């Protein structure tokens, strides 16, 4: 039997990307994540022995194994457009670390994921220069923005995906889309919020994660494990917030509020992003689930149930951690570690599992075929 191809996950977070690639048939042999709670979640689901809960910069070359694939994306430092392309700029430190791992592990392929505006950043220019005449010159780079909903994820999340293929292999290319707003011969309809969260309790039983003995990872006590309905936790909005939510129909947002419910800031800014205080639509993919999806003023995170005629048939709350995890395609059995805020950050930071799986399957097919 052929052994599963191996992968290293850098900046692994809670493991969304690893889970997708594992579903596609890859086996994680090393993961690097310095945040204790995120690394603990990763370890809880993939095993602790191969997880380095450390700053990537302190991992010596001698610890880097050979692998078929490297995945992960260095977080960009706000993409400041200061015009500096200096490789010694401290902001580029994490990129140099990524390049160091590619250099040592010599993977057949690496997949770099980042926010969609990454392709307009200095970090991106640096990467292209490295492929042209630097440490990546042994790799052919292809880049594109993929939208998770086009790959069967119930979320419109655009991500910049750079695929580097070693030059002794044929370039891999990006996976063809499988889903579309308007389905066609080979394209299924977009998955919807309804398909992921309909039928879950409208009123969460608790506003806190369950109290239980902590688990231990990396020699430290960490809150967890939590899974499934443990994450279905509500909030306690004040009366004025509830009144606001009640005015907002599916697809609507702060522009639906009557004057007396506007904050001064909104009243003074009658135009701008429409997602603020937005309510999701049942029969469309959700917007991008960010790390603060539990704050309605941060995006379109109100629950989609809202009857125009029957106020008792409205769910006036933001989505819960459980619903957010489902929209990111995490299975109900996934084990989470950390506090409410840290688990929200892990969920919002993750690559949707279904998108990672689509990229992984495509790469595996191309490597084997
Ligand atoms: C966008 S998240 C990764 C999400 C992950 N790919 C997933 O799908 O779940 C980036 C991660 O990089 C980690 N990170 C940032 N700087 C780091 C460093 N110097 N060393 C190790 N990890 C780091 C952060 O803690 C964060 O969890």
pLDDT class of 91 with cuts at 50, 70, 90: low
Q: Whose CA is nearest to atom 12 of ligand 1?
A: 11
Given pLDDT bands bounded at 50, 70 and 90, which one contains residue 81? very low
Mean pLDDT, rounded, for 96-114 = 95
Q: Cα–Cα distance between 99 and 138 in angstroms, integer?
A: 12
Two structure tokens written together for 179? 């889903």
Band (pLDDT 50/70/90 cuts) for residue 77 is low
The pair of structure tokens assigned to 109 is 């392929």
Percentage of the chain beyond pLDDT 90 is 82
Most distant pair of Cα atoms in the chain: their distance: 68
Contact criterion met (CB below 8 Å) for 80 and 91: yes
Q: Label residue 122 by pLDDT band (50, 70, 90).
A: confident
What pLDDT score does 82 carry? 42
Question: Average pLDDT over the chain, rounded to whole?
Answer: 93
In angstroms, the Cα distances linking 249 to 257, 277, 306 are 10, 11, 6
Non-local (6+) Cβ contacts of 328 within 8 A are: 16, 153, 155, 289, 347, 350, 352, 353
CATH of domain 6-192+351-368: 3.40.50.150
Q: How do beta strands 69-71 and 27-32 pair?
A: unpaired
Hey, what CATH class is 194-348 in? alpha beta
pLDDT digits (tens, 9 = 90+) for 153-179: 999 999 999 999 999 999 999 999 999
Confidence of residue 80 (pLDDT cuts 50, 70, 90): very low
The atom of ligand 1 lying closest to the CA of 56 is: 20
Taking the alpha carbons at both ends of the chain, their separation in whole angstroms is 16
- Which of 80-94, 141-155, 275-289, 307-321 is predicted with the least confidence, judged by mean pLDDT? 80-94
Domain with CATH 3.40.50.150 in the chain: 6-192+351-368
The pLDDT of residue 365 is above 70: yes
Residues pairing with 109 in the sheet:
69, 165
DSSP state at residue 323: H
Q: Write b or e for each residue in 3-33: b if 16 or more Cβ atoms lie within 10 A of its Cβ, otherwise e.
A: eebbbbbbbbbbbbbbbbbbbbbbbbbbbbb
Among 14, 76, 265, 337, the one annotated catalytic = 76
pLDDT at 92 over 90: no
Separation CA 173–CA 366 (nearest Å): 9
Q: Which atom of ligand 1 is nearest to the CA of 19?
A: 8
CATH 3.90.120.10 occupies which residues in the chain?
194-348
Measuring from each residue's beta carbon to the nearest atom of ligand 1, which residues come in under 6 Å?
Answer: 11-17, 32-35, 38, 55-56, 72, 75, 94, 349-351
Closest C-alpha residue for ligand 1 atom 25: 35
Please state, in angstroms and rounded to a whole number, the distance separating the CA atoms of residues 246 and 265.
Answer: 20
pLDDT band at 118 (very low <50, low <70, confident <90, very high): confident
Overall average pLDDT of the 352-359 stretch? 98
| Whether residue 76 lies in the annotated active site | yes
Query: How far is residue 203 CA from its own chain's centroid?
Result: 26
């Amino acid at each position: 039997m052929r052994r599963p191809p191996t992968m290293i996950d850098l900046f692994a977070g809670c493991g969304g990307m690893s889970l997708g690639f594992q579903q596609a048939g890859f086996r994680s042999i090393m993961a690097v994540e310095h945040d204790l709670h995120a690394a603990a979640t990763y370890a809880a689901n993939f095993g602790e022995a191969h997880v380095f809960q450390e700053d990537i910069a302190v991992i010596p070359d001698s610890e880097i194994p050979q692998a078929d694939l490297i995945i992960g994306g260095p977080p960009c430092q706000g993409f400041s457009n200061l015009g500096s392309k200096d490789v010694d700029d401290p902001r580029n430190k994490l990129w140099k670390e990524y390049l160091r791992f590619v250099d040592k592990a010599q993977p057949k392929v690496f997949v770099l994921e980042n926010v969609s505006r990454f392709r307009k950043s200095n970090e991106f220019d640096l990467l292209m220069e490295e492929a042209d005449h630097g440490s990546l010159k042994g790799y052919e780079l292809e880049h594109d923005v993929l939208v998770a909903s086009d790959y069967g994820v119930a979320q419109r999340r655009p991500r910049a995906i750079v695929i580097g293929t070693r030059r002794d292999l044929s370039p891999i290319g990006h996976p063809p889309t499988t889903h579309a707003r308007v389905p066609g011969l080979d394209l299924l309809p977009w998955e919807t919020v309804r398909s992921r969260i309909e039928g879950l309790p409208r009123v969460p039983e608790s506003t806190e994660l369950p109290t239980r003995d902590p688990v231990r990872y990396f020699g430290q006590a960490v809150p967890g494990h939590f899974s499934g309905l443990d994450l279905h936790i509500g909030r306690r909005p004040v009366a004025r917030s509830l009144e606001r939510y009640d005015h907002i129909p599916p697809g609507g947002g702060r522009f639906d509020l009557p004057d007396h419910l506007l904050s001064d800031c909104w009243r003074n800014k009658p135009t701008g992003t429409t997602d603020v205080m937005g309510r999701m639509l049942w029969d469309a993919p959700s917007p991008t689930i960010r790390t603060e999806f539990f704050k309605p003023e941060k995006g379109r995170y109100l629950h989609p149930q809202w009857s125009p005629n029957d106020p008792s048939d409205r769910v006036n709350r933001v989505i819960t951690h459980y619903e957010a995890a489902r929209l990111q395609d995490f299975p109900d059995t996934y084990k989470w570690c950390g506090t409410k805020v840290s688990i929200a950050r892990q969920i919002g930071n993750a690559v949707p599992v279904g998108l990672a799986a689509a990229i992984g399957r495509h790469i595996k097919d191309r490597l084997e075929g």
